[in-house]
C-alpha cells in the first residue's frame, strides 16, 4: 500500500489526521516496525489500532497492560482443567499401558490442543496479518518490558514442550503509553514514535463532524471550543477525552440543540466531565460563564 492509498483508506474511515501522522504510520508500516504512540489518556491512541485493523480488514488482537502483568497472561498458559479431564478419561487404561505409552500420553498433554493462547501467541499464530495492540505498556514493569523486547525483535517464541513458534505473518504492532513512567531506550529504539496531543478546536470540530451524522457546523465548532475551555482549566484533573466530546455532542443533539447554550451545557455536564470533584470545582469556579462571556464578546 502506497502513501496515497493509505491516505484515501484513512479518509474512507472518517479518520481525521495530519501529515505527520500519515507519514509516520506509513513509514512504520513500510519498514514493519512497531509504532509507539504516546500521549495523555483520551487523545485517541487506541483508535489508531482500530482504524488500521479496519483499513487492512485484519483482526485486532489487544493486550491490555496492567501492573503485575506477566508472561503467562500475555503469552500462553496450559489448560490444566482440560489436561486433568484428559487424565481422568484415560485413567482406566493406566494398568494396561506400557512405559512408552505412558510417556506418549504425557507428551500429548502438552500439545497445541491444551494450549491457551493469550494475545501475544495468538498474534504470532495468526494465519493472516493482524493488528496487535499492546495498550498502556507504561503500566507494566521493566521486567515485562524486557521480555517484550524479545518478542518484538524476532516475532517468535520458544515453548519448551513445543519448540520455537515463528510468526506466520508479521503483525502490525501498535504500542500505547500514557507516560505514567519512562519507557526504556531499548524499547523506543525498536519502534517508530508518534506523539498525539489533544486536538485543537478546528481538528476536534472536524472529528465531531466526521463521527456524528446530522450535527450542525455551529454546534460542532462551539462544542469543540467549549471542550478546549474545559481542558484549559487547571482545576479539572481528568481532562475530557475525544470520546467524551462525542458523547457530549450526542447528548446535546438528543435535547434538540443546534448550537451550544449555557443551559444545555450545564445540564449535560456529566457527559463531558466524569468526575464529581471536577464537576464541583468547575461549577464553583463559575462553570461555563467565562466561556460564554468570551463568546458573546
pLDDT (tens digit, 9 = 90+) per residue, 181-205? 999 999 999 999 999 999 999 999 9
Same domain, 64 and 137: yes
- Check whether 100 has a pLDDT greater than 60: no
Same domain flag for 18 and 144: yes
Same structural domain for residues 56 and 83?
no
Residues 134 and 281 in one domain: no
One domain, residues 82 and 62: no
pLDDT tens digit sequence for 42-78? 999 999 999 999 999 999 999 999 998 988 788 877 7
Binned at pLDDT 50, 70 and 90, residue 168 comes out as confident
pTM: predicted TM-score of the whole model, two decimal places: 0.84
Is 31 in the same domain as 127?
yes
Same domain, 151 and 279: no
Which residue, 179, 195, 211, sits at the end of a domain?
195
Average pLDDT rounded to a whole number, residues 134-143: 93
Q: Clarify whether residues 257 and 172 are in a common domain.
A: no
Of 139, 165, 195, the last residue of a domain is 195
Three-state secondary structure readout of the chain: CCHHHHHHHHHHCCCCCCHHHHHHHHHHHHHCCCEEEECCCCCCHHHHHHHHHHHCCCCEEEEECCCCCCHHHHCEEECHHHHHHHHHHHHHHHHHCCHHHHHHHHHHHCCHHHEEECHHHHHHHCCCCCEEEEECHHHCCHHHHHHHHHHHHHCEEEECCCEEEECCCCCEEEEEECCCCCCCHHHHHCCEEEECCCCCHHHHHHHHHHHCCCCCHHHHHHHHHHHHHHHCCCCCCCCCCHHHHHHHHHHHHHCCCCCCCHHHHHHCHHHCCCCHHHHHHHHHCCCCHHHHHHHHC
Residues spanned by the domain of 267 = 201-296
Same domain, 131 and 189: yes
Q: Tell me, what CATH number does 24's domain have?
A: 3.40.50.300
Q: Are residues 108 and 65 in the same domain?
A: no
Q: Give residue 214's pLDDT band: very low, low, confident or very high (50, 70, 90).
A: very high
For residues 104 and 205, membership in a common domain is answered with no
Domain-ending residue, one of 195, 222, 245 = 195
* Together in a domain, 30 and 66: yes
The residue among 104 and 291 whose pLDDT is bigger is 291
Task: Report the pLDDT averaged over residues 243-272.
Answer: 95
Instruction: Tell me how many domains the chain contains.
Output: 3
Amino acid at each position: 500500500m502506497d502513501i496515497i492509498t493509505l491516505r484515501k483508506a484513512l479518509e474512507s474511515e472518517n479518520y481525521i489526521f495530519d501529515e505527520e501522522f500519515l507519514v509516520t504510520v506509513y513509514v512504520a508500516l513500510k519498514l514493519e516496525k512497531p509504532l509507539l504512540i504516546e500521549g495523555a489518556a483520551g487523545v485517541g491512541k487506541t483508535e489508531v489500532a482500530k482504524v488500521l485493523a479496519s483499513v487492512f480488514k485484519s483482526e485486532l488482537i489487544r493486550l491490555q497492560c496492567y501492573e503485575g502483568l506477566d508472561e503467562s497472561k500475555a503469552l500462553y498458559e496450559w489448560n490444566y482443567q482440560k489436561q486433568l479431564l484428559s487424565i481422568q478419561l484415560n485413567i482406566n487404561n493406566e494398568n494396561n499401558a506400557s512405559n512408552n505409552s505412558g510417556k506418549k500420553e504425557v507428551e500429548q498433554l502438552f500439545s497445541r490442543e491444551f494450549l491457551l493462547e493469550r494475545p501475544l501467541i495468538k498474534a504470532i499464530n495468526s494465519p493472516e496479518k493482524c493488528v496487535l495492540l499492546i495498550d498502556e505498556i507504561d503500566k507494566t514493569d521493566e521486567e515485562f518490558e524486557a521480555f517484550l523486547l524479545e518478542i518484538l525483535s524476532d516475532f517468535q517464541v520458544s515453548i519448551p514442550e513445543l519448540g520455537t513458534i515463528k510468526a506466520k505473518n508479521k503483525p502490525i504492532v501498535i504500542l500505547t503509553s500514557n507516560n505514567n513512567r519512562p519507557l526504556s531506550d531499548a524499547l523506543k529504539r525498536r519502534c517508530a514514535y508518534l506523539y498525539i496531543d489533544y486536538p485543537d478546536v478546528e481538528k476536534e470540530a472536524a472529528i465531531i463532524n466526521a463521527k456524528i451524522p446530522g450535527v450542525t457546523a455551529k454546534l460542532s465548532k462551539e462544542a469543540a471550543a467549549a471542550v478546549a475551555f474545559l481542558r484549559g482549566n487547571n482545576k479539572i484533573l481528568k481532562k475530557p477525552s475525544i470520546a467524551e466530546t462525542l458523547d457530549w455532542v450526542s447528548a446535546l443533539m438528543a435535547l434538540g440543540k443546534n448550537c451550544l447554550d449555557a443551559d444545555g451545557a450545564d445540564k449535560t455536564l456529566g457527559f463531558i466531565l466524569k468526575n464529581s470533584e471536577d464537576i464541583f470545582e468547575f461549577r464553583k469556579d463559575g462553570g461555563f460563564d467565562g466561556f460564554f462571556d468570551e463568546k458573546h464578546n
